[in-house]
Structures are given as C-alpha cells and as structure tokens.
Amino acid sequence: MPAPSVRYKILPARGDISALNAAVAAIDEGELCYALDEDKLYVKKNGSLLAVSSEAPVDSVNGQTGVVVLDADDISDVATTNKYTTQAEIDKLAGIEANAQVNTVDSVAGKTGAVTLVKADVTDFSDADYATAVQGATADSATQPGDNISTLTNDAGYITDAGVTQIVAGTNVTIDPVGGTGAVTINATGGGGGGTTIEYSGAAAWGSFESNGTFNGGLNIASITPGISASPFTGTGYLVTFTNPMPNADYAVTTTSYGTATIVVLNKTTTSFLLAGVRDTGGGATTAVGADFAVHALNALPPQGGTGADAWVLCNGDGTTQSSFNIASTTRTGLGLYDVTFTTPMPSADYSVQCTVVEDTFSVVAYNTARTVNGFSVKIANSNDQRFDFDFSAVVHATNAQLPDTVTQQQIDNVLSGTFTGSINLGAVSVFADNTAAKAGGLVDGDVYRKADGTLMIVFT
C-alpha cells in the first residue's frame, strides 16, 4: 500500500503493567500505553486501562448490534441444563409451607401408617351393595359384549338357523319376488266389501249386557243404549252400535236371554241393530232382559283380537257331552239345569254365551247363568219357568282368551324349525304405522300386523 504523505511517530507510555496501573492518573483518557512485561497495548477508558485486543470484533450479541444490553428474555434456556424460573412458579413456591411433603394423607378411615382397609371400614355401604364371590364368578362367566351368540344355550325351537324357507301368496295377497324367498315384500289386496272375499270365520262382533243396559264386555261393540223404541212391539229395546261397521246389513245375529223372554232382532243397519225381549211375538209389550249375542258377516274386517269361537258344546239332555271344543265337562245338576266347565279358563267372566235348545216341539229357551272364568250354567225352561231336560248347544266368545292347542306340537316345531310347507294367508292382517299405533289399536304383545309397504311386524313391549 502507498505510504501516507505525513507520518508521526507514536511514543506511548511504557512500563510493566503494575507500574502503568499505579500511574494511571497521569495517563490521559483514550491514551495508549504499552506493558513491557505483557507485550500488550492498553488504552485508558473510564479511568481504567483496558487491553487492546487483536482478535476479530463482535458482529452481534443474541442477534443485537450496536450498544447491546442483554436481559433474561434475550437468553433462551432450551438447550441448557439449568432453566429459568417463571414468576408463576415463584408465586407457587412461595405458597408452600416449609417442610411440606408431597400428597401426604393424614389418615384413611381413621387409620394412620401403612393402612389396610376391610369391608367394615367403609361405612357408607351395606352388605347388599357388595357382590358375593358367587355373583362375581357368575358375572365373569356370563356372555360378554362382543361374544358370539353360540355361547348361549338355545332352548329347543326358540332360535333356529333355518327359519321360514318360503312364503306363498294366499287369497288377496301378492308377494315380491313371486318365488317367496329372500327379502320378501307382502301386500294385501283384499278389503271389506268391494267384491273381494275375506276368509275370516270368527264373529265380526259379540257382546253381553244386563237388563239395565250395562255393557259387560264384548268385541267390536261401541255401545249398548237402552230405552230405544222397539216398533212394531210396544215398549223399548237395546240399540247395539258397532265400533267398526259391517260391510252391509246382511249379517246374522244369534242371541240368548238371561231369562225366559225371547230376544228379537230389529232394524239392522251397517252401523247398528236393535234387540228387544218379548214374551208375546204377536205384537205384545217388550220386557227388560239382559242377553248375550254374536254377529257373523261376510267380508267383515276381522276385529282386533277376533278369532273363532273360544269354546262350544253340544250337550245331551242327560248331561253327557256329544261334541265340544275347549270344554272339559258338562254335568246335569237338576231338572233342566247343567254346569259347563272350560278346559282352558276365560281371561274374565265378561264373555258372551249363546244357547239354543235342540228341540222344536216345546216353546222353551236355554239361557246361561252364573258365569265364571272356569265355566257357566245353563237353564232350560218355558215362560212359566217350568224346566225340561233337552239337548242344547252353546257357543262362547271372549276377549283375549287363551285357547287350547288346535295343532300338534310336532306341527308347531316344524314351523319353528323351518320345515313348514303349504301357504300362509295374510290377507286379513291389520295395517298400522308402527308398534305404538298397533297397541293403540288393541293389539297385544305377540300379535302380527303389517305396515303400508307390506312388511310384517310383531307387537312387542
């Protein structure tokens, strides 16, 4: 490099560093001096001698330049062993008592030291709150969530791997697919009236009432109203109104009175008919009398809970049974008096009984008395209450009666095991939107109904 045009010789103060420090007051601020024993240059700054370094200058400190002043926030402790303490931690430590121990429990159930609890130490429970060893073992061995159903014991016939193998369309029923296998949709095409036939042989309605018009019970009967004019007879009768009307007025009504009066059926319409008790069929006065009755009609929709007769019997005048259904015995108890006992009892005594004398040479009637869930009595007499021993028939209708088996157990097992053959006629199955609607309509657990799309459903709780 070229020599400067003017050069001056620098003559700094010299001496050992100790001598220079001793005479530092005589050295001007910013003046250089040379320590002979260290071979170093010093400069006086702020009244002290500072060594003049020959190393490279500092470019920045923690990213800062110029006159740098560092504080704790400028220094990270991420990579250091010793960490900073936050103010929150300082405050937390300040709240801990001297010599405090971590999570120390003073006592457990009144015990201190190495505590071992027994059942008697827990006072908020009784023995009933604890499972016994047997109960615990039972729970451990029970079927658990996620277990296969094969771990259960299958009562014979309750769960099968076959099920119904095929559904065949009966009268007024269409199925899709036609073959009746797989996912089958069933649609009923029949209905009340309109030229279709509903294959239902049970009573379309039945009922029982007292002489004052009190309704004892029945099926598809909305009301019994006494005091209605019974023309052409003098007096009044009982208006019987259906819950669900008949498809037409060409239905049959059978009756049995609670006395010796003859029951006459009048003024039949699709919605009602009139019953009158008379003793003179030539136009005489009516009499107050209770009665049982049953209605049978073609193409009537089966009432909810409707079935065929719940019991019937043809009894000889000597009390022996000729033929019957759900009748355990018939017994002659006196002249013109008979007791009839059911095989399977009725659910209540509010059932209907129609009795008819099998004899046309005497003006006599048969009527029932003393009804119980287990049976009823029959009396055969004329209008003067003179009794006779004659053959008679009786038919019983009840609500929700439990009937005896009408098929063999083998047939039932075949259906449950999937070996059933033949056709199932579902044309008269009632239609409901859902389980709640079915129950509101009178169905009980186990009854079958169908939805509008043809799906068959079973009523459940």
**Segment 244-288, tens digit of pLDDT:** 888 888 777 788 877 767 777 788 899 999 988 876 544 568 888
- 312 residue type, one letter: W
Please answer whether residues 274 and 236 qualify as being in contact, where contact means their C-beta atoms are separated by less than 8 angstroms.
no
Do 403 and 277 contact (CB within 8 A), yes or no?
no
pLDDT tens series, the chain, 461 aa:
566 666 677 788 889 999 999 988 989 898 989 999 988 899 999 989 998 865 656 778 877 887 778 777 778 777 788 887 888 888 888 888 877 777 667 788 778 878 888 777 777 666 676 777 888 888 877 777 777 766 666 565 555 555 566 677 665 567 777 776 767 676 655 443 334 455 555 778 888 899 899 998 888 899 999 999 988 778 889 999 999 888 888 777 788 877 767 777 788 899 999 988 876 544 568 888 888 888 877 656 655 555 567 888 888 889 999 888 888 999 999 998 999 999 989 888 888 888 877 654 455 566 667 889 999 998 888 777 788 888 887 888 887 666 555 444 454 555 455 554 555 555 567 888 888 898 888 888 778 888 877 777 887 76
Domain 13-51: top CATH class: alpha beta
Assign residue 285 a region (left: φ > 0; alpha: ψ between -120 and 50; beta: otherwise): beta
Domain with CATH 3.40.1620.70 in the chain: 13-51
pTM beyond 0.85: no
Percent with pLDDT over 70 in the chain: 72
Q: How far apart are CA 257 and CA 356, in angstroms?
A: 10
Q: What is the pLDDT of residues 362-401, one digit of tens each?
A: 555 666 678 899 999 988 887 777 888 888 878 888 876 6
Handedness of CA 178, 181, 187, 188 (dihedral sign): positive
**How confident is the model at residue 338, as a pLDDT?**
93
- Which H helix or E strand runs over 221? strand 221-229
Q: Which residues pair with 287 in a beta bridge?
A: 277
